[in-house]
Amino acid sequence: MALMSRRRMLGAAGAALAAAVPVVLGQQKSGGAGSGKTPISLIIDDGGPVDAMFYMHPGYETPWIVPNAFTERVAATFERFDLHGKLTVLPMPSCLGRIDKSLERVPQEHLEGFLKIIRERIAPRFDITPEFLTHLAAYDLKSGKYQHIFEDAWISRAPLEEVIDYFVLAFQILKNVGLPAQGITSPWNSGIDVEKKYAQALAEAHWKVYGKKLTWYFLYVSEWDQPRRCTVEYTVPERGQAVVSVPANAPDIFWCMELPTQSEKVELIHRNIDRLVPADGRPGRIRQLIEGGYPVVLLTHWQSLYHRGTGLGLEGLTALAERIQKVFGDSLRWVPLREIARTALPAGGGPGPDHG
């Protein structure tokens, strides 16, 4: 996801669909396997060796190649606080080429260095997903060219078979660079108007490339509103496969690049951290989610952490992780997002141990 204003614009559609979702199987109180701890997970969208905002928002000023020293700092922050979650790695970032081959205007050494950090330091704790292929113009599988249509508009009208092939390519590219994907992420609100086709295409593509019984997608964000639950959106009973929709239950609290001054940005980030987890013991969003049995899934974006090369969002993440540690101590357990998805499955009836 990215482009918050666009997501808000489509929010009404999401709310209407939410009301129609029939299956709610999961409540999460414990971290599974009798740990007694509540699972918490962090979603990071739009990841890649370049800042996707550069092409997504023409005129956006940023050092558009994200230095690998920054990616190392992100990895070190995850390790320091034992954070887990999900990170997007775009298979064809900003229509520059394929990450398993080469990218236009990106030194090969940079690309390979980025992928090495992701493989060795981030993938052990963060599930990796594609976010379709480009997070920009749709790729034409037949001609190998980019189309005059963004991926969110493309999926609305593409036939099921084409969507399956598109997702297969996304999964295959990640597999080729040693990053097996556990699920998929929607760029913007892609698929919100054709969710059944989306879920079915995901089931077929994920099965073709990985043959795993559990897969999931990230499409919905409740922001500060009524939290959402994980829902099973598609099943293939003959192979025991389930597709789960996993929501984020908070907005990207580090997204502040539209604000004009540094002090306003810092103030917003601190206000947001206070709303999630107040320092003074008052209940905040995280407490509300825990007590309601909702998935404790937080959200940010690669470009929020990077923040035009300043790392402002990453500093915010450090402050948030410290606050969570201080307030919740050992009662929370950071988990990769697949463990949150798994809570939607009926107890004992879910897919087997092949998705560790």
User: How many residues would you count in the chain?
Assistant: 356
Strand-pairing partners, residue 346, are none
Between residue 185 and residue 224, which ones bind Zn ion under the rule CB under 5 A?
Answer: 187
Minimum distance of Zn ion from residue 240's CB (angstroms): 30
Comparison of 1 and 202: residue with beta carbon closer to Zn ion: 1
Give residues with Cβ within 8 angstroms of 159, minimum separation 6: none
Comparison of 195 and 333: residue with beta carbon closer to Zn ion: 195
Minimum distance of Zn ion from residue 186's CB (angstroms): 8
Interface region with Zn ion, contact rule CB under 5 A, candidates 136-144, 179-187, 254-262, 321-329? 179-187
What b/e readout covers 108-120, taking b as 16+ CB neighbours within 10 angstroms?
eebbebbbebbee
Minimum distance of Zn ion from residue 188's CB (angstroms): 6
Interface region with Zn ion, contact rule CB under 5 A, candidates 62-70, 73-81, 180-188, 323-331? 180-188
Q: What is the distance between the alpha carbons of residues 282 and 277, in angstroms, rounded to a whole number? A: 8
Task: Kindly write out the interface string for residues 38-77 of this chain, putting x where it contacts Zn ion by CB under 5 A and - elsewhere.
Answer: -------xx-------------------------------
Comparison of 46 and 152: residue with beta carbon closer to Zn ion: 46
152 binds Zn ion (CB under 5 A): no
Per-residue DSSP letter, 122: I
Minimum distance of Zn ion from residue 304's CB (angstroms): 11
Comparison of 221 and 345: residue with beta carbon closer to Zn ion: 221
CA 94, 218, 276 angle in degrees (round to 5)? 105
Comparison of 71 and 343: residue with beta carbon closer to Zn ion: 71
What b/e readout covers 270-283, taking b as 16+ CB neighbours within 10 angstroms?
eebbbebbbeeeee
Comparison of 94 and 343: residue with beta carbon closer to Zn ion: 94
2 binds Zn ion (CB under 5 A): yes
1 binds Zn ion (CB under 5 A): yes
Contact footprint for Zn ion (CB under 5 A)? 1-2, 45-46, 187
